[in-house]
């Protein structure tokens, strides 16, 4: 573990806490017969996909989003267990209760990870590293699960740090170490640089943080647009984004993978109707309304396309959402190939009060 360094009141203390193989670890915790064995959370049959994999399964190259048949080819002894999202959400809530004992400035990224800003609280524990250790201890004692943590002076480096000692580890990147740590790192390891951007960077001769640092903002903007400043900053170990507590949800979506490819309009329309029903119910439950609907369609060859349409006003009305969704689906016909997955997302969200019709809210915006 790297030491945190001398205290400096002008430096932020940011933690990134990431649960270790969260879904799979819960299944191993609740069923001792699974401990030490390769476990995949997901559906084994047909078009199933791995939602999460234990560390024993990852040794064989089994990862989340891997088709189940490929996972079994890599690890014939793989044990599939169906997901229990209600249990995962409950454990996640338990972990967030632990977080709130230390700080209210928490930005969840998923059920199993979050940023915490402990700039105002660290002195009571001696250091931000001590806060992270205490949080990891509490999680272990109260849930029986392990968490890894990264400690640094910004979000970008804290997330990089949490992955350095997995599982059940802690790593610190101090202000004196940040720039040098990033310089040697391959750009594909940067959080915020995805596969497509990595490919473009490699084509430009940008392979490491040091390579990226040699480019100016105007030069980066020519190739990466509005992301240029962010890439310029992180290449220097800088990230000024705050930890956003109570960050508003940007979208809500649901999707279905078919057991067999579908080409018929009637079947796809019926499936889409069921997806819309679930999405509308989710909006009402979360008290949000949306204006933009995006349809995702994945063909048999795994090629994925999306199309979107926006309404004049935010809505949660199932009929309105279905009309928009069917219009988007119709635009794909005649189909290029059979379809294996259909998904729908609603975005441009606003809060929705049961006593206020979304269309009325839109009229007065």
267 and 301 co-located in one domain: yes
* DSSP class of 49: B
- Asked which of 169, 203, 235 is the last residue of a domain, the reply is 235
- Asked which of 185, 209, 235 is the last residue of a domain, the reply is 235
Cα gap 177→241, rounded to integer Å: 19
| CATH number, residue 26 | 3.40.1170.60
Entry pTM: 0.75
In a domain, 95, yes or no: no
In a domain, 2, yes or no: no
Bigger pLDDT: 9 or 176? 176
Catalytic residue among 113, 133, 188, 255: 113
CB 172 within 8 A of CB 4: yes
Q: Note the pLDDT tens digit of each residue in 275-316.
A: 999 999 988 888 889 999 999 999 987 788 999 999 888 888
CB 262 within 8 A of CB 315: no
In total, how many domains does the chain have? 3
211 and 263 co-located in one domain: no
Bigger pLDDT: 65 or 3? 65
Cα gap 211→187, rounded to integer Å: 9
CB 243 within 8 A of CB 116: yes
**For 54, what's the count of Cα atoms within 13 Å in the CB-facing half-sphere?**
22
Radius of gyration of the chain, Cα coordinates, nearest whole angstrom: 23
Q: Which residues are annotated as a binding site for Mg(2+)?
A: 18, 112
- Asked which of 83, 100, 129 is the last residue of a domain, the reply is 83
Cα gap 143→99, rounded to integer Å: 13
In a domain, 102, yes or no: no
In a domain, 225, yes or no: yes
* DSSP class of 208: B
127 C-beta neighbours (distance < 10 Å), count: 18
Residue 336 has pLDDT above 90, yes or no: no
CB 28 within 8 A of CB 39: yes
Q: Residue 17's closest CA among 125, 152, 182, 176? A: 152
Instruction: Quote the domain boundaries for residue 227.
Output: 177-235
306 and 341 co-located in one domain: yes
In this prediction, residue 353 has a pLDDT band, given cuts at 50, 70 and 90, of low
Q: Note the pLDDT tens digit of each residue in 229-278.
A: 999 999 999 999 999 987 777 889 999 888 889 999 999 999 999 999 99
| CATH number, residue 305 | 3.30.1490.100
Cα gap 11→356, rounded to integer Å: 44
197 and 225 co-located in one domain: yes
Q: Which residues are annotated as a binding site?
A: 18, 112
113 labelled catalytic: yes
């Amino acid at each position: 573990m790297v030491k945190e360094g001398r205290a400096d009141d002008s430096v932020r203390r940011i933690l990134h806490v990431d649960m270790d193989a969260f879904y799979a670890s819960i299944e191993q915790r609740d069923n001792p017969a699974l401990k030490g064995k390769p476990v995949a959370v997901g559906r084994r049959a047909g078009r199933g996909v791995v939602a999460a994999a234990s560390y024993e399964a990852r040794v064989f190259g089994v990862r989340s989003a891997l088709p189940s048949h490929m996972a079994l080819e890599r690890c014939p002894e793989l044990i599939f267990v169906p997901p229990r999202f209600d249990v995962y959400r409950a454990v996640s809530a338990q972990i967030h209760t632990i977080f709130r004992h230390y700080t209210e400035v928490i930005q969840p990224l998923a059920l199993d990870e979050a940023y915490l800003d402990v700039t105002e609280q660290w002195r009571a524990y001696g250091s931000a590293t001590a806060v992270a250790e205490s949080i990891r201890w509490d999680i272990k004692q109260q849930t029986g699960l392990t968490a890894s943590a990264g400690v640094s002076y910004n979000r970008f480096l804290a997330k990089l740090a949490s992955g350095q000692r997995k599982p059940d580890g802690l790593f610190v990147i101090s202000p004196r170490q940040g720039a040098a740590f990033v310089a040697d790192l391959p750009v594909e390891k940067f959080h915020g640089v995805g596969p497509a951007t990595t490919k473009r960077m490699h084509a430009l001769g940008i392979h490491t943080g040091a390579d990226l640092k040699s480019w100016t903002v105007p030069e980066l903007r020519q190739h990466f647009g509005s992301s240029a400043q962010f890439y310029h900053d992180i290449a220097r170990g800088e990230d000024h984004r705050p930890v956003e507590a109570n960050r508003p949800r940007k979208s809500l979506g649901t999707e279905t993978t078919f057991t067999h490819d579908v080409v018929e309009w009637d079947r796809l329309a019926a499936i889409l109707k069921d997806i819309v029903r679930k999405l509308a119910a989710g909006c009402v439950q979360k008290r949000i309304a949306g204006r933009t609907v995006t349809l995702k369609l994945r063909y048999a060859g795994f090629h994925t396309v999306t199309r979107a349409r926006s309404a004049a006003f935010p809505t949660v009305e199932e009929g309105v959402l279905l009309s928009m969704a069917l219009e988007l689906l119709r635009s794909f016909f005649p189909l290029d190939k059979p379809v294996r997955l259909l998904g729908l997302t609603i975005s441009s969200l606003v809060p929705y009060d049961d006593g206020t019709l979304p269309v009325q809210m839109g009229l007065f915006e």
